[in-house]
Amino acid sequence: MGCECSKFALYYWTGQSGPIYEAQNPDEEKDEVSDLPAFREFTFEQLRIATSAFAVENIVSEHGEKAPNVVYKGKLENQRPVAIKRFNRSAWPDTRQFLEEARAVGQLRNNRFVNLLGCCCEGDERLLVADFIPNETLAKHLFHWDTQPMKWAMRLRVALYIAQALEFCTSAGRALYHVTGKGLALYHDLNAYRILFDEDGDPRLSCFALMKNSRDGKSYSTNLASPEYLRMGIITQESVIFSFGTLLLDLLSGKHIPPSHALDLIKDRNLEMLTDSCLEGQFSTDDGTELVRIASICLQYEPERPDFKSLVAALYPLQKEAEVPSHVLMGISRDGETMSLSPLGEACLKTDLTAIHEILDTLGYKDDDGAATELSFQMWTDQMLETLNSKKKGDAAFKNKDFRAAIECYTKFIEVGTMVSPTVYAHRSLSYLMSDMPQEALNDAVQAQVISPVWHITSYLQAASLFTLGRENEALVALREAAILEEEKNAAS
């Protein structure tokens, strides 16, 4: 291969004097995020409620024995969906170190990142809170795809966006170091599982791997296998660039390339052997050869590798379909574009409370596992009988549209606390809506979801309450979540 490339790319020479780099970045698209809430510290109780008591149904990823940390999907009190990482209790014994690192990472806000919104540090509990990204990981779309392989143009966009994220991480981390004197921000675990696709189909880099997760500053969960890391056991910026080189090979081949094998695979630079067969006819030999070349200089044995600013400049000329939105290339439908709603969903969208009432009244307690068993007891105390009568009176009032009486009766049933029923909370939620008490209705819908995390009715009622409160964006999020849950339920039945 020759040593020249376009004027935007990096120049290199593999002789004994080492590589030489020059770079121009023809465009800057890494604007900092301005509409995110400020980084904050959460209480453990807030995050417990957000995840429905860390329900198994809300787990979105788990790791192995070396780092048994679990990530949950959750929803904050303002209905913002979040990802909550709960660390193993031994991961962060130093409270001060955890808080300092979390606050530092929380300052690194960028459109190429899954941004860190907050943390929790109570007793032995250590948790991180980030925006929830809905469209799976790069690993899912690249290695385990269901309907179509990832297109060449999208793979190149992933390479560029992640290079931009890491370049921002480097420059912002350096600026932060000058202000605080704390260590530079290094990305500890770059791989296809750390890249997620947002509602627009754009790839984003998870913020979680910016936390060291160790007692002594080393990252024991890392997949890094750069030569210097294997020799000395420390992470440097050059190690991160080596990992980026292995990511480029993953994108090219459509397979996970073990970092330890990356150097051997790249030596021959055989484009045909390295390339995913699903990409046939999607790119020119020159573009494919250029990507292999960029990967090869990231994977050099000696740590004389390009910086991320140079890599960003090198990847720009390969973006031949930059005008095509990511969600189109990915085949992902964005919120509001193709949302298919059931009659209940349509009623919530229009806040047609009469239609919602008819549907809930017809449904009754069919989806309420807890209430179905209440008549199986052979003996009842007077208090239990009175409690059951309160529910029955509430059901009768609800059916007859006497919503004030329904609220009163259901409240007596709930306050006794001998039985838990998400349907009762759902009925009282709609009764509050009918009585022009939308905040109380929202509170009940959230409580019903805590009891029954995957019951679609709870999300529908949250949407109706939020629409009534004038919080349309949050209502649309809840409505889409309800539609997905309802679709999953119907598919399983």
* Helix, strand or coil, per DSSP, at residue 146: coil
**Are 26 and 8 within 8 A, CB to CB?**
yes
Nearest to 190 by CA among 216, 160, 225, 215: 225
* Helix, strand or coil, per DSSP, at residue 139: helix
Angstrom CA distances, 91 to 67, 107, 126, 220, 366, stand at: 8, 22, 8, 10, 44
Check residue 370 and report its DSSP letter: T
Nearest to 217 by CA among 113, 98, 71: 98
Residue with token string 């409270």: 95
Degrees, nearest 5: CA angle 39-45-48: 90
Check residue 207 and report its DSSP letter: S
How far is the C-alpha of 166 from the C-alpha of 305, rounded, in Å? 14
* Helix, strand or coil, per DSSP, at residue 93: coil
How far is the C-alpha of 193 from the C-alpha of 33, rounded, in Å? 23
How far is the C-alpha of 222 from the C-alpha of 230, rounded, in Å? 12
Task: Report, as residue numbers or ranges, the catalytic residues.
Answer: 189
Check residue 209 and report its DSSP letter: G
Residue type at position 400: N
**Are 187 and 164 within 8 A, CB to CB?**
no
How far is the C-alpha of 44 from the C-alpha of 121, rounded, in Å? 8
Length of the chain: 493
